Structure 1
Amino acid sequence: MIPLLKRYRVFLLMLVALGGLGYVNADLAARSLGHSVDYLVEMLLVIPPIFVLLGIFDVWVPRETIVRLMGGESGAKGTLLALCLGSFAAGPLYAAFPVAGVLIKKGARFSNIMIFIGAWSTTKVPMLLFEASSMGWDFMLCRLVMNLTGLMAIAHILDALLPEEHKALSPAGS
């Protein structure tokens, strides 16, 4: 019983906090609970299809292909592929992490994983088109160049500075 409580301690703490909020301000607690339920439903609609596609990807794409295209010796080709995969992906950012886990397992270079996650969060094509139409091409291009510069720098610095044991996919709970 104690390991189960330890595992869900953050969730239980949030429930206690929500209860305290409900005691102080019931309307705010109800809105907070409503938002939480909305996010949970959204996640339950997004995550299962992602895991199905990841299962197919894991079985159909050989490790050697990922190592060749995105591995340590892939160079600019791997960086460009990671950038394109992230930029053309659909879905919220939390969907990128299981994909990144499979890419790590299949031998993708750590910097390419970081570029993939960064591209997923900052350079999505629909977002760029929206920015260009609503804020202008100058703003969109300026933000894109700054994001790509920072993204590449951070990914390659992390790849160079982190020891290999920190780049590996570790088991959950360790």
Structure 2
Amino acid sequence: MKLLKRYRFFLIAALFLSILVLRNRELGIEAISITGYSLKEMILVIPPIFVLLGLLDVWVPKETMIKYMGEDSGLKGILLAFLIGSAAAGPLYGAFPVAAVFMKKGVKFSNVLIFIGAWSTTKIPMLLFEISALGAKFALTRLLVDIPGIILIAYVLCTFADQAEIERIYKKAESM
């Protein structure tokens, strides 16, 4: 029973996919193909991220992370969160395990949020693509709007978030 509960979302999705194949074979096969492609992409992305996380966890002492990105890090922590998030490669779902390790290492919550925001919107390869496809003026304008926007959102979330909830999130990250 515990196994069914654990995999209920997968089983429900598989059921709907089976029904789709029975009702509309062509569309169902296309959905299975897209699912397979996404699964393959995740299998290629997730293992390297976890290897890098393991190295980060072992090689970088908690004290170092606290010094550079912790509660008293100030502008240095913000810049480092932006730099790491912008230089990162991979889809957004790769940022969350990294964020969990950051929390485990004592990184300030706003810096974790800034890192996630930078990963999602200020990636260097994305900026280079935008410059080539949409022009430098557009790309740099978007970047100049995004940077203060990410910082603002991070601090607004920290201001309005319940401190007990933030502590619960950190405890959950520590237990992983």
Residue equivalent to 1:21: 20
State which drifts further: 15-24 or 160-169: 160-169
TM-superposed deviation, 1:163: 2.3
SS in structure 2 of the partner of residue 169 of structure 1: helix
Aligned to 2:170: 169
Per-residue deviation, residues 28-55 of structure 1 (Å, max 9, x unmatched): 1111111111111111111112111111
How far has the Cα of 1:170 moved from its partner?
A: 4.7
Give the aligned partner of residue 39 of structure 2. Answer: 40
CA distance in 2, matches of 1:5, 1:148: 44
Q: Which amino acid aligns with 2:158?
A: D
- Mapped pair 1:7 → 2:6: yes
Q: Which residue of 2 aligns with 1:83?
A: 82
What amino acid is the match of 2:54?
A: G
Give me the whole-angstrom Cα distance separating, in 1, the residues matched to 2:125 and 2:90: 11
Per-residue CA deviation, residues 44-98 of structure 1 (Å, 9 max, x unaligned), is 1111121111111101111010111001110111000000000011111111111
Q: Following superposition, which runs of at least 4 residues in structure 1 exceed 4 angstroms of deviation? A: none
2: CA distance, partners of 1:49 / 1:126 = 19
- The CA RMSD measured in Å over matched residues stands at 1.3
- Alignment identity in percent? 52
Structure 2 letter corresponding to 1:82: A
TM-score (norm 2): 0.92
**Normalising by the residue count of structure 1, what TM-score does the alignment of the two structures yield?**
0.93
Q: Distance in 2 between matches of 1:162 and 1:148?
A: 21
Unmatched 5+ residue regions in structure 2?
A: none
Which protein is richer in helix relative to its size? 2
Q: Which residue of 1 aligns with 2:55?
A: 56
* In 1, Cα distance between equivalents of 2:150 and 2:67: 22
Amino acid at match of 1:169: Y
